[in-house]
Structure 1
Amino acid sequence: MLEIERKFLVKTEAFKPEAFSQSEIKQGYLNSNPERSVRIRIRENTGYLTIKGKSDESGTTRFEWEKKIDKKEAEALLKLCEPGVISKIRYEVKVDEHVYEVDEFFDENAGLVLAEIELNTADENFIKPDWLGVEVTGNVRYYNSQLSKNPFTLWKEN
């Protein structure tokens, strides 16, 4: 139940033709506290309830618990979420032995594209494709729970 991942900005759309799948995601937060977040997600026709704990100092590792729930239940729970529901398309791209999940955001987070890679250990080696940009692992403002409250399009340095 520990999630170990690294997160990067994406600098080009070169990942799109490499993707072996893509799906629409809509998600909101019942609780977006950095100590523990509770997320409701609808990915295509499936709902998910996810609880995440606080990240370690490096931002790579944290507790994650997830359960599938009925789509109608997820839709009802989304109505109870904090303001700032996130819409995105997730592309899955296999690079060597790993799969990058690349999220292209819409609405108030339009223009932001992030890639995450899940690892077995925090110091595991992995290939960084050319379309990968600056690493933002541990930068809380790039957490989806924070993007729901402080959207990318409102950042002054955009």
Structure 2
Amino acid sequence: MVEIERKFLVKSQAFKKEAKSSNRIVQGFLNTDPLRTVRVRVSGDKGFITVKGKGNQSGTTRFEWEKEIPIHEAEALIPLCEPGVIDKKRYFVEVGKHVFEVDEFFGDNAGLIIAEIELNHEEEAYTRPDWLGEEVTNEVKYYNSQLSKIPFKAW
């Protein structure tokens, strides 16, 4: 129940040609306290509820618990979320032995594209594709919970 993840800005649309699949995601936050974020997500035809804890000093590692729930329950919970629902399309891009999840945001976060990679440990090596830009792992403003409060268009 520990997530080790790094986040990066994306500097071109080239990832789209390399994507193996994609799906639309709508998510909201029942709680955005940095110590215990609670997220509700509709991803394709599935629903999820996720609890995330505070990240470590580098921002790469934190507690994460996720449970699939019926989609109708997730859809019913979205209107109860704090203001600022996130709407994005997620692309799955295989690079070497890893999969980058690349999120292209819409609505108030349009123009922002962020790639994430999950690792088995913080120092794990990975192949860096040409379209990958600056690392923003420990920059809180790029967390989805913060993008729901202070969207990209407001920066």
Q: Which category of TM-score, normalised to the shorter sequence, fits these structures?
A: over 0.9
Which residue in 2 is equivalent to 1:5?
5
Amino acid at match of 2:76: A
2:58 partner SS: coil
CA distance in structure 1 between the aligned counterparts of 2:141 and 2:148, rounded to whole angstroms: 10
1:122: how far off?
Answer: 0.3
1:33: how far off?
Answer: 0.9
1:125 partner SS: coil
**Runs ≥4 in structure 1, deviation > 6 angstroms?**
none
Q: Which runs of 5+ in 2 are unaligned?
A: none
CA distance in structure 1 between the aligned counterparts of 2:138 and 2:49, rounded to whole angstroms: 23
1:77 partner SS: helix
Which residue in 1 is equivalent to 2:87?
87
CA distance in structure 1 between the aligned counterparts of 2:133 and 2:106, rounded to whole angstroms: 19
Amino acid at match of 1:138: N
1:32: how far off?
Answer: 0.7
Identity rate, percent: 63
Which residue in 2 is equivalent to 1:41?
41
CA distance in structure 2 between the aligned counterparts of 1:94 and 1:46, rounded to whole angstroms: 22
CA distance in structure 2 between the aligned counterparts of 1:54 and 1:86, rounded to whole angstroms: 20
2:77 partner SS: helix
Which residue in 2 is equivalent to 1:54?
54
Which residue in 1 is equivalent to 2:71?
71
1:94: how far off?
Answer: 0.2
1:16 partner SS: helix
Which residue in 2 is equivalent to 1:29?
29
Amino acid at match of 1:144: N
1:107: how far off?
Answer: 0.1
CA distance in structure 2 between the aligned counterparts of 1:88 and 1:146, rounded to whole angstroms: 15
CA RMSD after TM alignment? 0.4
Which residue in 1 is equivalent to 2:153?
153
1:121: how far off?
Answer: 0.4
Which residue in 2 is equivalent to 1:135?
135
Q: Which runs of 5+ in 1 are unaligned?
A: none
Amino acid at match of 1:64: E
In the alignment of these two chains, the number of paired residues is 155
1:149: how far off?
Answer: 0.2
